[in-house]
Amino acid sequence: MQKIVRTLLALLPLGAIGAPAPHAPPAPRYPVAAIAPALRAGAHAVLRADDEAVTVKSTSRLVHTVHRAITVLDATADNYGRLQVGYDALNALSYLRGAVYDADGRLLHQPRAAEIRDQSMGSFGADFMTDVRVRYADLRQPQVPYTVEFDYEIVSDNTLFYPGWQPQAEAGLAVQAATFRVVTPLALPLRYQERQLPPGTAVVRSASATHASYQWQLLDQPALGEEECAPPLAYTVAAVALAPGAFEVQGYAGSAASWQSLGQWNYALNAGRNQLPAATLARVTALLRDVPDERQRIRRIYEMLQTSTRYISVQLGIGGWQTFPASAVAATGYGDCKALSNYTVALLAAAGVPACMALVGAGADKADLRPDFSSAQFNHVIVCVLPPKTGRRDTLWLECTSQTAPFGYLGSFTGNRHALLLTPQGGQLVATPRYAAAQNRQTRHLDVFLDAMGSATATARTLRTGQEQDQYAQLMHELSPAEQKKYVTDHLSLATFSLSKFTLAATAAEAVPGLVETLGLTLPGFASPSGKRAFLTPNLLSRLPALPAQAGERRAALWLPHASLRADTVLLHLSASFRAETLPAAVQLVTPYGTYDSQCSALPDGTVRYVRRLELKTGRLPGSAYAGYVEFCRKISLADKAQIVLLKTES
């Protein structure tokens, strides 16, 4: 027996008996050296692995699992070293795990559960009612490069929204490998839209007796550089959007197979919530007494809304889509965008004015929705006042969350895009107001008084309308006069000056709102002397900077999202010590991007008049058009810097 035991022991590997063998370190993961040089070129970070899976369980449940590893190459990409995942009553976070590795792939740290913070989004402000919480892991390291790895899973009972897939979330991120897999019951066919996929990245489909599977893979995608005048990244990089056909949220079933059916679900969800208290109805009656003009009646209702309500955000389960009753808003004086919009529609109905709510994707920098893919692409609700069958033909739009928004004006926040009207017949996709150059105007008049020493004082009056005034309207309503003055001072592109006067005021109501800015300027050394001559640039405040030439081959389209018209008139009042000797030549440019002309002339009284007009068009052009746009801006920049030569007169 002892011989048999000795024989068995001899067959065991060395170190299996006696003193325990040292624990072998784990194999390296994601060493930086394994990244191909072509992927590191121009990249701040590299997505080493992005494995996402969406499993549709039923019309009311899906599971989204994510495994992601990102190598941070430099400090500018440190934001990838942390991750926050939101969850709420309809989206349960099963787990969130992480790990961080050094440049050689050695494990540095795996956070314990106690190191992953959990915070309510409601703590961000009193005007935020939500059940959303955030779990947050921070694995940033003081030394780069390093690699973070995250795993999490969300079980969602809100199938109105299917997860999408866009591995390149930002410029400067290269992709080594990414996969996206979706499994759905055959009874729930998947609706998807492929966007900008490179050749050979088509979906791979398979099926069993009960389920269908879809898989996409993206390999070895170099980082995109920051390109001037480029469209949003979603229009440039590979992506797959998903959407349900049939879905269900907390017992409310619907379909997103068409805009009509998606709007029908939203309309039914909020039906019957437009009843107003008797006191509010009486207030409307009194408010509109002796106001026969329909537009004025609508304006009165809107002013009533703005002076008696305030906005709060509500994100509580189905309350993210189902409004407070209008009676609740009347009683409390607050609501979120859909509650305030529903209340406004109820007020207008009491005034005999037809209107409906409309879903829209809001944001000054937000691209328009994809009209060919019906899905929940919205984050805001506004009101559309519908034209009656006879009489007024125009359609009014109302932003109901702002106490200062001009009547009937949407601006850059929700204008120039599509919205989904919610009607009893279902959803109807329509366009919100389009603001063209004729509405987006900046008209400036300057009087510049030059003294015998070459210094000057100036007054400038600038009228901005439409989208040209949006930012200044925000300044006027959110900043104190002193803060407004500081902002303007910081953004004036003048070498040496002092601001002696500043006012900002709204103009009388027109089709689009306007603001008038008045400046008083002191300009020491405005005309640079050189012997018997002095030189000055008449374009003080409207110079267009040149754009950089494209480095390498351009990948993005040329994106011109904003049309505008800017007109300047400058009157140079010369002292008796100067007369104009040489004036800049007139410049006129006509291009697909816009038009420009400028000219100088001497008036009979010795005053010099400078007139400039720049109209910029909107559109999306091929990337090859960028070189022409750069040349257009270069010529404008040169013309804007053109100088007048003054000759000193004999005393």
Q: pLDDT tens across 287-331, in order?
A: 999 999 999 999 999 999 999 999 988 766 676 788 989 999 999
Q: What is the mean pLDDT of residues 149-154?
A: 98
If you ran DSSP here, which 8-state letter would residue 42 be given?
A: T
pLDDT at 191: 97
Give the model's confidence band at 4: pLDDT under 50 very low, under 70 low, under 90 confident, else very high.
Answer: very low
**CATH of 441-648 given 1.10.730.10, 3.40.50.150, 2.40.37.10, 2.60.120.1130:** 2.60.120.1130
Q: Is the pLDDT of residue 123 over 60?
A: no
Residue type for position 210: T
Residues of the chain with CATH 2.60.40.3140: 32-249
Cα separation, 102 vs 72, in Å, equals 10
What percent of the chain shows pLDDT beyond 70?
Answer: 93
How many Å apart are CA 281 and CA 347, to the nearest integer?
8
Distance CA 405, CA 397 (A): 11
**Which range is least confidently modeled, 9-13, 58-62, 503-507?**
9-13
**Which residue type does 331 have?**
A
Assign 570 to helix, strand or coil.
strand
Q: What is the pLDDT of residues 128-151, one digit of tens each?
A: 566 789 999 999 999 999 999 999
Give the tens place of pLDDT for each residue, 323-372. Answer: 989 999 999 999 999 999 999 999 999 999 999 999 999 998 888 999 99
| The pTM of the whole model exceeds 0.95 | no
Delimiting residues of CATH 3.10.620.30 domain(s) in the chain: 258-431
What stretch(es) of the chain map to CATH 2.60.120.1130?
Answer: 441-648
Contacts of 170 (CB under 8 A, 6+ apart): 233
Q: Are 152 and 93 in contact (CB under 8 A)?
A: yes
Any idea which architecture 258-431 has in CATH? Roll (3.10)
Report the C-alpha gap between 600 and 621 in whole angstroms: 33
Who's near 276: CB < 8 A, 6+ residues apart? Answer: 284, 326, 327, 330, 346, 347, 350
CATH (one of 3.30.420.40, 2.40.110.10, 3.90.1170.50, 2.60.40.3140) for 32-249: 2.60.40.3140
Average pLDDT, the chain: 91
